[in-house]
Structures are given as structure tokens and as C-alpha cells.
């Protein structure tokens, strides 16, 4: 089990680095576009489309990372009032729902990629499928992390009182 936990930690760390790089590139593209448009009066045609594409990649990868950390919004008021065994069952059910949703997302991403593959993004001139590859990657990462949470028994959000 420790090996699985280490593997998932490495995968998530690599994805974190990818997210950081994406944010740097998105910021650089946006600053460049603002400079070119308002200072030089020479805007680019591709910058907004590329920034949007990278933002989609960032969002889908970040969602997958947050699954492992239980970093998503959760309404704990009802769950915290339940007996411990029932609260654990609710947490387990939530992880199962996340896993089910992410598997559907992953499976449907192939269909989306296939449907959009012949279309071209006008400013970048690349396949529109690049807008849907993040759904595939994010769905896979979400599935792996949700499954990891279930296998490792981490189905509840960490207690904020015990976090450093």
C-alpha cells in the first residue's frame, strides 16, 4: 500500500509541476498580449486562443490533483452530525460517486476527441481535439486518484484541526 501511495504522490507531484508551468505560460502569454495590444497597438491573433486552451488543461489537471487531497468543496454540516460509521459510509459513497463520474468523463472524452478531431482552431490552426484531450487526461487522473483514495482507505477529508 505504501508503494501505491508513493506512486500516486509522484504522479500528482509531476502534475503539480505541469500546472505551475501552465500558469507561468498563461501569464506570460496574457502579459505579452496586453503589451502588444495596448503599448505597440499590434495584437496577436493566437494568444487568447492559446491561453484558453492552456487554461482548460490547467483546470482539468488541477481537478484530478484535488481529488486525491479532498480539496473540493464539501458540505460537512450533515455528515459531521452522523455517527462515525455512517459518516464513513457517506464519505465512501462520495468517493465512489467521484470515481463513477470520472470514469464516465474519461470514457466520453474519446467520443469528444473523435467528433472534434476534423475541426481546426482558427487562430492556432491545430485540431480542435486539443480542447478535449484535457478531459481525457483529467478524467484519467481523477479516476486514478479516486481509486487510490478508496484502496488506501482515505475516503474522508482531512480534519482541519489536525492539519499543520
Q: Where are the domains of the chain?
A: 2-152
Do the beta carbons of residue 148 and residue 68 sit within 8 Å? Answer: yes
CB 58 within 8 A of CB 22: yes
Q: Which of 111, 112, 104, 114 is nearest to 139 (CA)?
A: 104
SS3 content of the chain, % helix, strand, coil (to 5): 75, 0, 25
Q: What's this model's pTM, rounded to 2 decimal places?
A: 0.86
| pLDDT digits 0-9 by tens, 73-115 | 776 777 888 888 898 888 899 899 999 999 999 999 999 999 9
Amino acid at each position: 500500500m505504501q508503494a501505491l501511495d508513493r506512486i500516486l504522490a509522484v504522479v500528482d507531484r509531476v502534475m503539480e509541476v505541469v500546472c505551475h508551468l501552465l500558469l507561468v505560460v498563461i501569464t506570460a502569454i496574457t502579459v505579452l498580449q496586453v503589451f502588444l495590444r495596448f503599448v505597440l497597438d499590434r495584437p496577436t491573433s493566437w494568444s487568447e486562443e492559446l491561453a484558453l486552451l492552456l487554461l482548460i488543461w490547467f483546470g482539468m489537471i488541477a481537478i484530478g490533483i484535488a481529488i486525491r487531497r479532498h480539496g473540493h468543496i464539501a458540505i460537512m454540516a450533515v455528515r459531521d452530525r452522523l455517527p462515525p460509521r455512517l459518516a464513513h459510509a457517506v464519505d465512501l459513497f462520495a468517493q465512489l460517486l467521484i470515481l463513477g463520474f470520472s470514469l464516465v468523463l474519461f470514457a466520453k472524452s474519446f467520443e469528444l476527441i473523435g467528433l472534434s478531431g476534423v475541426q481546426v482552431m482558427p487562430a492556432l490552426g491545430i485540431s480542435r481535439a486539443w480542447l478535449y484531450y484535457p478531459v481525457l487526461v483529467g478524467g484519467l487522473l481523477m479516476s486514478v486518484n479516486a481509486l487510490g483514495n478508496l484502496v488506501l482507505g482515505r475516503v474522508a477529508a482531512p480534519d482541519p484541526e489536525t492539519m499543520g
